[in-house]
Amino acid sequence: MEAFLLTYGVEWLNLLGRWLHLITGIAWIGASFYFVWLDNSIKPPAPGSELAGKGVSGELWAVHGGGFYNPQKYLIAPKELPQELHWFKWEAYATWLSGFALLFIVYYFNASAMMIDKSVADLSSWQAIGIGLGTLVVGWTVYDLLCRSPLGEREGLLGIVMYILIVAAAFALSKLLSGRAAYIHVGAMIGTMMVGNVLMVIIPGQRKLVEAMRAGRQPDAIHGRRAKQRSVHNNYFTLPVLFIMISNHYAMTYSHSYNWAVLAAIMAAGVLIRHFFNLKHKGRIAWGYPAAGMALLLAVAIAIAPRPAARPQAAANGAANDAGFARVQTIIAQRCVSCHSAQPTQPGFATAPAGVMLDTPALLRQHAAKVYQQAVQLKAMPIGNLTQITDEERAIIGAWYEAGAK
């Protein structure tokens, strides 16, 4: 009973953590998208105008919520520091902290089930957790050093190098962790880069601007340029990270034998689509970018489309006996019901994943299509193949479903 209550409590922490992560993520991404749009949309004031004389580099007019707004951006800083200055940082910090908490609740707390796939690498829980945490530290360190190096002055080349390094990380993780854990740690690595940009570059740069003004000195424009660079990077990181956040619902991506390549293509599509909107904010419409992004997504969908499951000849010839319902039910009871039941016995699960229960004949028939997709076509279940289901058993389930799941 105590073990069940602990697992049930973890389920609630999972729920509340995801909710908080979603709320703070919306706040952070919303602010980020807005300021990138603002930077790309403002127009310089007329030469010799009052605004130009005040040092305003751009402004625009907008209407929202029944009112008119006139945001202005100064080339470096206004002549006098305003009494009230709004900062945008806690949205980023809260998003990363809630996401890091979810890593522990969902993955590290139950690493044997959520992070390890013995068919990929025979790791201990602590080894898997160490790889996950190491990915975050190494990812940020390498990225920050590259930005501070001479390569950081060449934005296009830096972007290509970072994409290659992120794909390389995805490849390496796919050879060490389960597909789902590999994906989420690529996302956590990028998210750490993003919050590192805010914590280590953007906010410190803004503080130096404010300190210089309070001391009566002209602020150094380099701090603004560095902050702008990292802000733009965060903007391009966003769509790939958002995809990874939802990818755990789509086993067809992370369970594929080339899951790292699938992720690489989808991330590239996200960057292309985001670039279209960034250009659009500047008044340039370039439909080639979203078209290329959509073409990549279509190519991925076609490439990973499930194929008919191959069955050993013995199973195909003896389908009438081997694929009978009683045999299938026995396999499901041995390999799946420890998680997918009204009262799961697998440690770390208080309720059946996705609410799918398979512990009665009626429920097994009801969810036959899901069982076929996840266990036979995608081979994504059992998660990490914890229960060691065999290819022969998958073939028997496939033959039963294809025969009508009677």
Model confidence pLDDT, tens digit, residues 279-330: 998 889 999 999 999 999 999 999 998 776 555 454 444 444 445 788 888 8
Model confidence pLDDT, tens digit, residues 122-150: 999 999 999 999 999 999 999 999 999 99
Q: What pairs with residue 10 in β-bridges? A: none
**Residue 385 corresponds to which tokens in the numbers above?**
């193949």
Indicate whether 355 pLDDT > 90: no
Indicate whether 247 pLDDT > 70: yes
Q: How far is 400 from 193, CA to CA, in rounded Å?
A: 48
Q: What is the mean pLDDT of residues 155-168?
A: 95
Q: How far is 268 from 274, CA to CA, in rounded Å?
A: 10
- Per-residue pLDDT band for 186 (boundaries 50, 70, 90) equals very high
pLDDT mean across residues, the chain: 88
Indicate whether 33 pLDDT > 50: yes
Other residues' Cβ atoms within 10 Å of the Cβ of residue 305: 9
Q: How far is 219 from 223, CA to CA, in rounded Å?
A: 8
Of 14-23, 33-42, 162-171, 382-391, the range with the lowest mean pLDDT is 382-391
pLDDT at 320: 44
pLDDT at 315: 47
Whole-prediction pTM value?
0.84
Model confidence pLDDT, tens digit, residues 57-85: 899 999 998 899 999 888 777 888 888 88
Q: Where are the domains of the chain?
A: 89-303, 313-402
Indicate whether 44 pLDDT > 50: yes
- Per-residue pLDDT band for 1 (boundaries 50, 70, 90) equals low
Model confidence pLDDT, tens digit, residues 384-393: 777 888 888 8
